Amino acid sequence: MTSRLLVLDEAGTLETVHARIAAATAGVSLRTVWRWLAAARQPEPPEPASGRVAFTLTDQLWSRLSDLGGNVKALHAWMHTQPQEALPGREAGWVPSLTTVHDAVRRELRAGRVLEVSRPAHARRDPERYDRALAELALPDTVDDTGRPVPTPQPRLVVPATPRDGAPTPPSPFAGGARLYTPGAHIVSTRQLGEVTEALVHTAAAHGIMCVYGDPGHGKTIALHQALHLLPRRVPVHRALVAVKPALPQLRAALLTAFGLPATSLTNRTDAADRALLDALTSPGVLVIDDVQRIAAPELDYLRLLVDAPTTRTSLVLCGAGAERTLVRAPALASRVLTWQQVPRLTPPHVPTVLRLFHPLWDAETDEDLLHTDQAHARGNFRTWAKITSHAYAARSRDPDTAVDHALLTWACSRLGPNP
């Protein structure tokens, strides 16, 4: 980007608006862009007049540095223990100083060479090791009667259903979804889930782009997670968690993290980060970005540039409430979407069957009361029905003699607020 600004400056056509666009794209201030441009105008300093050749790291040393988590001191110690293997062809017993190795690593990084592992992962616990430690401590509520660790209960995910297919599906491995106090709730297969799964399989096979959209509360995210769970195990899934209105460096960091790349060391190194992402996208898989409505148009166009690369084989799945309206702001990306999949609201004829598949609490309730509540409050929104179920279940837990009738539904709906 700086080189392009320098070309415009030499041609005499550089304006402030160019620098402002560059600053917004890079996520820096306007003053920083002018400082970059001033530094680029300066001639490069001449090479030092010395006959000595700077020490450089071979591919073997760079790979060893990656295995050591980017620890240069550990690499230097290994070079002392294995000088012949680390420095073949050098004078016997010769090893560069630690400062020389540090300088060589910095030169490689400035030149854009990517270090796959920039630092060891701290504070990451092996689940089996953690459970074993809990069992050894024998803390209350962490082990069963035989001394085995008690697994942590996972939050249930709720997906609306239709009477076409009422077979329950296993819980999704993803931790997203509605966190509600409703023990006994079931995840049920739906026609919508089948359509999302079919569209996802097609998009993944075509290495294309898919947009899952619909109003809030219709079950888009949960249906997508269930569909991803049904993909073959050999298809890797990467999830990018984006902030609200992320700048380009923040979006780039989220994508790097989704692929397990060192976001901290690559975020502010544009060329190296882009090369690392393009290299990761060459492998078949699925990249999922939920809540895509948070992303502004320039950052959406950056996604378009990544998926437009001829080597890209990773499918892009964009999901969110109003995602179709968001992509209107980025027509270049919208024109490349292969599949548009809408997740609609529940239709009134299916509401009673859906709710009885979802939770046995509604087995004794009449269709008339359920349809009246849906028309007056839920309006086919499954998230609202999940809240009503949670309140009704809590009332029954406090007083088992409470009847599941119109009065209980009216009381549960009163907890939904003025705009359910």
Q: Are residues 338 and 243 in the same domain?
A: yes
Q: Report yes or no on 165 lying in a domain.
A: no
**Residues 233, 244 contacting (CB under 8 angstroms):** no
The sign of the dihedral angle between the CA atoms of 343, 218, 315, 189 is negative
Work out the angle between the directed axes of helices 248-258 and 270-280 (0-180°, nearest 10). 40
The tally of domains found in the chain comes to 5
How far is the C-alpha of 132 from the C-alpha of 200, rounded, in Å? 38
Q: What is the pLDDT of residue 278?
A: 92
Q: Report yes or no on 167 lying in a domain.
A: no
Phi, psi (rounded to 5 degrees) for 307: -75, -15
Q: Are residues 325 and 276 in the same domain?
A: yes
How far is the C-alpha of 395 from the C-alpha of 392, rounded, in Å? 5
Q: Are residues 330 and 352 in the same domain?
A: no
Q: Report yes or no on 53 lying in a domain.
A: no
Q: Are residues 95 and 144 in the same domain?
A: no
DSSP lists the bridge partners of residue 143 as 149
Q: Are residues 323 and 231 in the same domain?
A: yes
Q: What tokens does 297 get? A: 């148009």
Q: What is the pLDDT of residue 48?
A: 52
Q: Are residues 329 and 205 in the same domain?
A: yes
Could you read off the pLDDT tens digit of each residue along the chain, which spans 420 residues?
A: 677 777 777 877 888 877 877 777 777 788 888 888 888 777 765 555 555 667 888 878 887 887 787 788 888 888 888 777 777 767 667 788 888 888 888 888 777 666 665 444 444 444 444 445 444 444 444 444 444 444 433 333 333 433 334 444 434 333 444 456 677 777 666 677 788 888 999 999 889 999 999 888 877 888 888 888 888 777 899 999 988 888 888 898 999 999 998 887 776 677 888 889 999 999 999 999 999 998 998 899 999 999 989 999 999 999 998 888 889 889 999 999 999 999 888 888 888 887 888 888 888 888 888 888 888 888 888 788 888 888 888 888 888 888 888 888 888 888 887 765
Q: Report yes or no on 409 lying in a domain.
A: yes
pTM of the model: 0.55
What is the Cα 301 distance to its own chain's centre? 18
Q: What is the pLDDT of residue 35?
A: 84
Q: Report yes or no on 314 lying in a domain.
A: yes
Q: Are residues 148 and 73 in the same domain?
A: no
Q: Report yes or no on 405 lying in a domain.
A: yes
Q: Which domain holds residue 214?
A: 191-342
Q: Are residues 361 and 253 in the same domain?
A: no
Q: Report yes or no on 33 lying in a domain.
A: yes
**Residues 354, 344 contacting (CB under 8 angstroms):** no
Q: Are residues 37 and 95 in the same domain?
A: no
Q: Report yes or no on 50 lying in a domain.
A: no
Q: What is the pLDDT of residue 368?
A: 87
**Residues 390, 182 contacting (CB under 8 angstroms):** yes
